[in-house]
């Protein structure tokens, strides 16, 4: 699991995360929802040890991330929202480089890579330069990079952005498979229908605070609303603002 214990992170005078106390369980798909700038990506970067909290600590499978970020990253597969690849390398060259970094068994690596390239329809793209790939294929390359070392924790930041329907379906099934294997799956999305369809547990964050948490039925009982879009707008305090903007759109 991933455990956040009284985690606070500030950028100057701006509080990105405010005293977050949270557990992400194994064997479930957890969706992290929130408006732009709510703190989702900061939470992910803290989990990987890319940045450190100002207060509190993060435990990943009994590893204190601040004290030992390298060990934490060995068991985490991460695909960021902004896809950054080695533009002058091919995906195949990049994957081989990653396999050496992780010290992967060559036979297991090749079998795993062959499967993922087939699943995400990248077999014919694997020898092109990363800089020549479409946005959707770059996203696929990033997701496969996160999966290659067979991590026990999968963290995906807006993973469905740019994916075609076939790849999106494969990714959903892969996330479900990971959960059934008692692994930890945490992802963020702005597509509420995906969160509603895939997630076992939903966390809504706004202005660095957890404003709601639970499965869909628990969230429905909390605000007495039936669809996740309305629940999201209610708990983030955006409902009134959005309704006013809609009235402006229609000239009311």
pLDDT tens column, 80-126 = 998 888 889 999 999 999 999 888 899 999 999 999 999 999 999 99
How far apart, in whole angstroms, are the C-alpha atoms of residue 46 and residue 73? 11
Q: Which residues form the domain of 187? A: 2-249
**Band of residue 234 on the pLDDT scale cut at 50, 70, 90:** confident
The tally of domains found in the chain comes to 1
Q: Which of 117, 177, 178 is nearest to 143 (CA)?
A: 117
Question: Of 151, 174, 123, 159, whose CA–CA distance to 60 is shortest?
Answer: 151
pLDDT band at 237 (very low <50, low <70, confident <90, very high): confident
The closest alpha carbon to 164, from 136, 183, 204, 141, belongs to: 136
Q: Band of the pLDDT at 185, cuts 50, 70, 90? A: very high
What is the pLDDT of the chain when averaged over all its residues? 91
Give the CATH number of the domain where residue 67 resides. 3.40.50.300
Tokens for 55? 């207060």
- The C-alpha angle with vertex 45 and arms to 105 and 108, in degrees rounded to 5, equals 10
The pairing of beta strand 29-33 with beta strand 14-24: unpaired
Q: Evaluate the CA torsion angle 183, 186, 191, 196 in order and state its sign.
A: positive
Read off the pTM: 0.91
Residue 252 banded pLDDT, cuts 50, 70, 90: low
- What is the DSSP code (8-state) at residue 133? S
Is the separation of the CB atoms in 188 and 31 below 8 Å? yes
């Amino acid at each position: 699991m991933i455990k956040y214990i009284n985690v606070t992170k500030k950028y100057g005078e701006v509080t990105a995360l405010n005293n977050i106390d949270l557990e992400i369980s194994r064997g479930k798909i957890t969706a992290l929802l929130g408006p732009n700038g709510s703190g989702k990506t900061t939470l992910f970067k803290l989990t990987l040890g890319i940045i450190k909290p100002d207060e509190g600590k993060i435990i990943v499978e009994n590893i204190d991330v601040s004290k030992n970020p390298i060990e934490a990253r060995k068991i985490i597969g991460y695909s960021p929202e902004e896809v950054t690849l080695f533009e002058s390398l091919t995906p195949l060259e990049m994957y081989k480089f990653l396999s050496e970094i992780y010290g992967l068994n060559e036979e297991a690596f090749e079998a795993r890579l062959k499967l993922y390239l087939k699943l995400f329809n990248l077999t014919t793209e694997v020898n092109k330069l990363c800089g020549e790939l479409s946005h959707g294929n770059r996203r696929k390359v990033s997701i496969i990079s996160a999966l290659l070392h067979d991590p026990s924790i999968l963290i995906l930041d807006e993973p469905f952005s740019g994916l075609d329907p076939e790849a999106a379906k494969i990714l959903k099934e892969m996330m479900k498979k990971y959960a059934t294997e008692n692994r930890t799956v945490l992802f963020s999305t702005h597509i509420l229908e995906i969160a509603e369809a895939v997630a076992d547990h939903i966390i809504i964050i706004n202005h660095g605070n957890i404003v709601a948490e639970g499965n869909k039925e628990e969230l429905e009982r909390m605000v007495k609303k039936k669809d996740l879009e309305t629940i999201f707008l209610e708990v983030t305090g955006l409902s009134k603002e959005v309704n006013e903007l809609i009235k402006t759109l229609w000239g009311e």
